[in-house]
Amino acid sequence: MKVLLDECVDPKAATFFSTEFEVRHVTDLGWLGVKNGELVKLAEDDFDVLLTIDGNMRHQTSLKNLSLCVVVAEGHFRSTEDYREPIRRFEVEGMLLAKGEFHVLSERV
């Protein structure tokens, strides 16, 4: 599965993905500063999932007619280590996600 990390996600979070996932960050592609709507269109051809922590994306961006899935991880991300558990959960649930939809990984309490 090919995953794109949004610019609000720490690029070092990519280290928490298993080798089954091909992970890139928007900075790897020169897409830093690209607005959400344009980003999902750019990512659609080469990625299966866009992973973000931007909770507003699901209210600001349409995925209509797109084959990309956007996963919004909710939580407090103060350090790179804070990404470990949401990424682990994403890897477990990721294969079940429908394309063209937003999915929220709620913070577990």
- H helices of 13-83, in order, are 36-44, 57-60
Q: Which two tokens stand for residue 83?
A: 């990404």
Which pLDDT score is estimated for 49? Answer: 94
Domain ranges of the chain: 2-105
Which pLDDT score is estimated for 109? Answer: 44
Which pLDDT score is estimated for 47? Answer: 95
Which pLDDT score is estimated for 84? Answer: 92
Which pLDDT score is estimated for 107? Answer: 65
Which CATH code of 1.20.1440, 2.30.110, 3.40.50, 3.30.2010 fits the domain covering 2-105?
A: 3.40.50
Radius of gyration of the chain (CA): 13
How far is residue 50 from each of residues 53, 92, 109, measured CA to CA in Å? 10, 16, 24
Residues of the chain with pLDDT under 50: 109
Which pLDDT score is estimated for 62? Answer: 82
Helix, strand and coil content of the chain, in percent to the nearest 5, comes to 35, 20, 45
